[in-house]
Amino acid sequence: MDGLVTTAQSSRFWRLRGLEGLGLMRARYTSHAFARHSHETFAIGVIQSGLEEIWFADGVERVGQGAIVLIEPEVVHTGAALTGEGWAYRVLYPSTGVLSGLGGTPGTPRFAERVVYDRQGARLLLRAHAITETEDALTAETTMRQAMTWLLRRYGRASAPVRDTRDVTTKILERAREVLHERMTEPPGLDELAADLGVGSSTLARSFRNAYGLPPHAYLIQLRVRASCRLLEKGLPPAEVAATVGFYDQAHLTRHFRRLVGVSPGGFQRGGRIVQAAETETP
């Protein structure tokens, strides 16, 4: 059974043939809490039951059954159960390229609202999501495209948010981020990074967080987790992946991977194989 993760709580991640750049997950969580993180892709979720609390930099959203949550790329957020019963949801992770190619809005797609309650939209997205597990690839891809196109046309916009980069110039912040990418496995300390860029360490940390939503150390962990996803999809064993991206060991990788992705590295690797929907089984 490809992509199934068997835990006290349940989550499953998979991809669909024909829609490269789209990840899918369904999950039920009770005690699991996501750490602050962001995605390279959009995260479009529909709450099926229960209540979830989501922290954003500008406030907290409490969402329940029928809510459509529209999180744009690189927007830092968390996710946790609001009650002991937890919450269940289905999530789409489409890349910017996937949404741009649908023609719903001109330019880079954005959403006018972060949480909407729309019965028609929720039904449409849930149906398309479920079909990817039960129907042939052509039917699944077509239905999913139709659902995302409808969503873009209903709630999309084209303007991009403006980031606050007070205290440190954009050029310096971009260079700090480049260094973290270049030295992901052996990064400099904050003092060293700040000294190399000619700014104070506290100022750099504060401005980096204002600009990118995470302080440098958390941004680095996210980089490593993202790199891990790519290596796991190529079939590398988790222990090798951990060493390659700079984690201390496999346990270190697993801890951060679960906090940010919601499944174990092994579960992600099994579900990351691109398979025809008709070849999967609903757990």
Q: What is the pTM of this model?
A: 0.74
Specify the pLDDT at position 281. Answer: 34
Range of the domain at 221: 170-262
Same domain, 178 and 151: no
Within 8 A by CB and 6+ apart from 71, the residues are: 39, 42, 43, 44, 45, 77, 114
Q: Check residue 272 and give its pLDDT.
A: 60
Question: Domains in the chain: how many in total?
Answer: 2
Distances in Å between the Cα of 15 and the Cα atoms of 46, 80, 156, 257, 275 are 18, 24, 24, 18, 7
The pLDDT, as a whole number, for residue 273 is: 53
Under 8 Å between Cβ of 257 and 267: no
Residues 22 and 152 in one domain: yes
Q: What is the rounded distance in angstroms from the CA atom of residue 93 to the CA atom of residue 165?
A: 27
What residues contact 102, with CB distance under 8 A and at least 6 apart?
145, 148, 149, 152
What pLDDT score was predicted for residue 107?
A: 66
Whether 118 and 26 map to the same domain: the answer is yes
**CATH code at 255?**
1.10.10.60
User: Torsion angle, CA of 94/95/96/98, rounded to 10 degrees?
Assistant: -70
The H helix count followed by the E strand count for the chain is 10, 14
Q: Domain check: are 70 and 129 in the same one?
A: yes
Amino acid letter, 54: I
Residues of the chain with pLDDT under 70: 1-8, 103-107, 158-167, 272-283
At residue 7, the pLDDT reads 40
- Integer Cα distance of 50 and 65 in angstroms: 6
* Residue 121 DSSP SS3: helix
Q: What local confidence, expressed as pLDDT, does residue 142 receive?
A: 82
Q: Which pLDDT tens digit goes with each residue over 157-215?
A: 764 444 444 457 889 999 999 999 999 998 888 888 888 999 887 788 889 989 999 88
Residue 278: inside a domain = no
- pLDDT at position 137 is 76
Bridging pattern class, strands 52-56 and 22-29: unpaired
